[in-house]
Amino acid sequence: MGLVTYDAKDPATSFPPIEPLRPPDGAPNVLVVLIDDCGFGASSAFGGPVNTPTAERLAAQGLKYNRFHTTALCSPTRAALLSGRNHHSVGMGGVTEIATSAPGYNSLRPNTCAPLAETLKLNGYSTAQFGKCHEVPVWQTSPMGPFDNWPSGGGGFEHFYGSSAARPTSTPPPSTRTPCRWNPTGPLRRATTSPRT
């Protein structure tokens, strides 16, 4: 390791430069799209009535992803997709509003189950989530936090734009709310566009 000095002002002190963490050259961009209440039968790529020409082109070239288990509920499906695990193993057996202390239903992802975004971020990727979240435990949705389970907290996303879907009682009703750009480490700012939630 070489000489270890105890004073940063010591002329013999020498440390390697801090290198920014970046994905390797040629690393692909990663985009995950989740559409609520939509199964395989809806897309035209799988014979459904919803026209999805890009998905059809990908399917014609042999690229069809069909091994994802949907849970018929938004919170568990999001938790499963974002972690790559069964929704019960990440505490999301139901939507966040019905969380209990029962195993698999507490709406708390254990820190032994890293989400995909966290894995990407730790490998130098920039990460962001846009739209509805609905993975935050109800008692953590206020501006007071804690933010451990917010997408930009323990979810692995550096940026989050959208709504948590679980609204604390102190927030105005949905009809009077305007979309917010949420960053738990900074001020609450109004979004410049209205994202669909």
Same domain? For 61 and 140 the reply is no
Give pLDDT, residue 168. Answer: 40
> Domain ends where: 49, 66, 83?
66
User: pTM to 2 decimals?
Assistant: 0.66
CB contact at 8 A, 149 and 108: yes
Same domain? For 94 and 164 the reply is yes
Same domain? For 124 and 80 the reply is yes
pLDDT-derived band of residue 165, with 50, 70 and 90 as boundaries? low
Residue 178 forms part of a structural domain:
yes
Strands (E), the chain: 128-132, 159-163, 180-182, 189-190
Q: CA–CA distance from 33 to each of 60, 82, 105, 129 (Å)?
A: 20, 10, 25, 10
**Has residue 190 got a pLDDT over 80?**
no
Same domain? For 79 and 170 the reply is yes
List, for residues 129-159, the tens digit of each pLDDT value: 888 888 888 988 888 888 888 887 778 888 7
Residue-number span of the structural domain to which 177 is assigned: 70-190
**Active-site amino acid positions:** 74, 134
10 Å Cβ neighbour count for 11? 7
Give pLDDT, residue 93. Answer: 94
Closest CA to 162 of 74, 87, 92: 74
List, for residues 74-108, the tens digit of each pLDDT value: 899 888 888 889 999 999 999 999 999 999 999 99
Residue 4 forms part of a structural domain:
no
